[in-house]
A and B are shown apart, each in its own frame.
Chain A
Amino acid sequence: MKDPLDALEAFYRECGTSEPPERLPRRSSSPWPALCTSVGVGVAATLAVAILTPRPKASAADAARWVQQVQVARTATPHIVEDRPWRG
C-alpha cells in the first residue's frame, strides 16, 4: 500500500503550483446594501417624476379666486399687509 505521507507530499506538490480560483465578487450577506439601493432608486424615481411632470396652468377662475383672497386678507389685516408691502 502507498505510504499516506507520499500522498501528502504529492498534495503539497500540487499546492506549490496551484493558482487562486477565479471567483465572482462575493455577495454580501447583509441585507442593508440591497435595501439602501432600493430605497435610493425609489427616492430618485419619485423626484424625477415630480420634477419632470408638467404642472397644470392656473385657470382664469383660479386667478380670480386668488385675487379675491388677497383683497380679503388686506381688508382683515391691513397692518400686516402695510408692514410687508412686498407680499402685497
Chain B
Amino acid sequence: MKPLIARMSAPTMGMARTAEETAEWIDSRRLPSFRLALAILARADLAEDVAQEALIRAHRAIETLRTAQYPEAWLRQVVVRCAMKAGQKGSSGEPIPDDAQAASGDRVTQLAVQQVLSRLSAEHRAVLALAMFEQLSYHEIGETLGVPVGTVASRLNAAKQAFRRLWEDA
C-alpha cells in the first residue's frame, strides 16, 4: 500500500478517501503548514496560530477534502490566506533580543531578513514564500493566490525589488 502522503497527493479519480485517512493526512500537515506560514510571516508565534487555524478549517471541510483532487493545494491555499490575513493585521517582525549585538553573523542576518520581511506587504511576502520557499511554478502560485500567471510574474519581480530596496535602507 502506498504511503499516506502519496495516496493523498494522488488525484482521486472519482474515488473518495475515507474520513479517517483524510483526518490523519490533515494532522500530518501541521509542520509543513507551520513552516509555510513562518516563511510568509517571519514570526513563529503567528505562524503557529495560522497553522492551527488552517488545520481546524481543514477538519471542518473534511468532506470536501475527501473528494478533493489536490488536497495539498487546497490546504496550501488556506494557509496562505490565513497568513496574509494575519500579516495584514500588523506584524512588526520578531522582537529583536537584547543580545543581538553578540549574536553570530548568521543570526544577525536572519534578524535583518525578518525585519525587512515584516515591512513588505502581505501579498509580496506570500509570493516570495511560494516562489522561493515552496518553489512552486508560476501556474501553481497563480492558482494559490487566485491571480493570473502574468500577475504572478510582475508581483514576484516587484516583491524582490521591494525586498532589495528595504534591505539597503535598513
Which residues of A are in contact with B by a Cβ distance under 8 Å? 2, 4-5, 7-12, 14-16, 18-21, 23
Which of A2, A10, A20, A23 is B110 in contact with, Cβ under 8 Å?
A: A10
Contacts of B38 in A (CB 8 A): 15, 18
- 14 A-B pairs whose Cβ atoms sit less than 8 Å apart in the complex: A5-B160, A7-B167, A8-B117, A8-B132, A9-B132, A10-B109, A11-B42, A11-B113, A11-B117, A12-B39, A15-B133, A16-B133, A21-B44, A23-B45
- B128 near A8 with CB under 8 A, answer yes
User: A5-B160, A5-B163, A5-B164 are known contacts; what are 14 more A-B pairs with Cβ within 8 Å?
Assistant: A4-B163, A4-B168, A8-B128, A10-B109, A10-B110, A11-B110, A11-B113, A11-B117, A12-B39, A15-B39, A18-B44, A20-B44, A23-B45, A23-B48
- Chain B interface (Cβ within 8 Å of chain A)? 30-31, 34-35, 38-39, 42, 44-45, 47-48, 51, 106, 109-110, 112-114, 116-117, 128-129, 132-133, 160, 163-164, 167-168
Contacts A18-B38, A20-B44, A21-B45; A12 near B133 (Cβ below 8 A):
yes
Question: Is the CB–CB distance between A12 and B167 below 8 Å?
Answer: no
A12 / chain B contacts, CB cutoff of 8 Å: 39, 129, 132-133
**Chain A binding surface, main DSSP class:** helix
Using CB atoms, name the residue of chain B closest to A1: B168
With a CB–CB cut-off of 8 A, which chain B residues contact A16? Answer: 35, 133
A15 near B35: Cβ-Cβ < 8 Å: yes
Chain B contacts of A5 at CB under 8 A? 132, 160, 163-164
A18 touches B35 (CB 8 A): yes
